[in-house]
Amino acid sequence: MLNKFRNANLEAKNIMNTNVIDNYSKIKPSLFFLPLSFLITIVLFLYSQNALSVDKYIQIQKNYFYFLNSKLSQFPNTIYNLTQLGDALIFLSFLTIFIVYAPKIWESLLSASLVSAIFSRVLKDLFHVPRPAEAFDRNSFVIIGKTLPGFSSLPSGHSITVFTILTVLLFAFMPKKLNYKILWSFLIIIAGLILVFTRVGVGAHHPLDVITGSIIGYICGLTGIFISRKYKIWSWINNEKYYPIFILLFLICCIVLINKIINENLIIFYLSLISLIVSLYKIIYVYAKK
C-alpha cells in the first residue's frame, strides 16, 4: 500500500515537473523586449514632463497618489493583508509544496529572487527617491500599518517580489491553447497589479514606484528562468536526500510566522503558516518513506 502511494506520488511529481520544464524550454529571449519597451516609455514620459529629477518625479504623480491612496485605503484590512504578499517569506510559503511536486519552479524562484534582491537594492540606492511619508505631510494621506520614511521608494521592492514570483508561475503553468494562454496571462497580471497597488493604498509608495517595480520584477522572473534553464545551480533541490535542509528551513520560517502573528494578528500570516505546515508534513512524509 505504501509503495503504491509512493509510486503515485512520484508519478504526480514527474508529470508536473516535466510540464514545467517543457514550458520553460519554450521561453524565448524576445520576451524581454516588451518590459524593456515599457521602461523606456516611462523614461521618455518623465523626460517629456521634465520630471527626471526626484522632486519633479514626485510632483507629477502627487495627485494620482492621493487619489489612489484615498480610494484603496477604504479597505484597510484587505489591503493590509494583501500587501504582506510582497514579503518573500509570506508569498513563497504558499509555494513550498512545489519543492516536492515541481522542484524546477523553485530552481527558477531561487535564481529569480537573488536577481530581484540585487536589482531592488542597487536601484533604490541609485535613485534615492523619498517615500510618501518623507515627501508629503503625513496627515494629508492615509498610512496603514507601520510608517515607512526614508529614501527607498523607487522601485517598490514589494512589487519586484510579487511580479518576480508571479512571472515564474506564469510560465510554469502556461496553458497550451492560445485562448487559455491569454486568459491565464490576464489573470496573473490583474492579480499582480491588485497586489502591488496595495503599496499605494497603505501609503508606502508612489504609483510609478509600483509600476516600475512590477516591470523589473517581470524581468527578474524571466532572468531566473533562463538561469535555471542554462545552469544547474539548484538541481540538488530535486534530490530527496537534501530534504532535511528544507525541513529545518520550514521550521525556522514557522517560528518567524508565529512571531509575526503574535505582533500583528493578520489572517494572511495564518494562511501562510498553514501552507508551511502542510508542506512540512508532506516533505517529512516523503523523506521518511524514501
Which of 7-21, 22-36, 115-129, 276-290 has the weakest average pLDDT?
A: 7-21
Q: How confident is the model at residue 289 (pLDDT cuts 50, 70, 90)?
A: confident
* CB burial of residue 54 (10 Å; 0-12, 13-18, 19+): middle
Average pLDDT of span 149-173:
97
Q: Is the pLDDT of residue 10 over 70?
A: no
pLDDT at 249 over 60: yes
Which residue's entry shows cell 509600476?
211
Is the pLDDT at 2 greater than 70, yes or no?
Answer: no
Kindly tell me if the per-residue pLDDT of 251 is higher than 70: yes
When pLDDT is cut at 50, 70 and 90, the band that residue 14 belongs to is: confident
**Residues 69-124 pLDDT 10s:** 999 999 999 999 999 999 999 999 999 999 999 999 999 999 999 999 999 999 99
pLDDT for residue 186 is more than 80: yes
Task: Report the alpha-carbon distance of residue 129 to residue 132 in Å, rounded.
Answer: 9
Cell 527578474, located at residue: 220
Average pLDDT over residues 30-52: 96
- Nine cell digits for residue 41: 516609455
Determine the pLDDT at residue 24. 97
Per-residue pLDDT, averaged over 153-169, amounts to: 98
For the entire predicted model, the pTM comes to 0.94
CA dist., res. 265 & res. 259, Å (int): 10
What is the structure's pLDDT at 113? 97
Q: What is the pLDDT of residue 267?
A: 98
Res 198 pLDDT > 70: yes
Distance of alpha carbon 75 from alpha carbon 117, whole angstroms:
30
| Grid cell of 73 as nine digits | 485605503
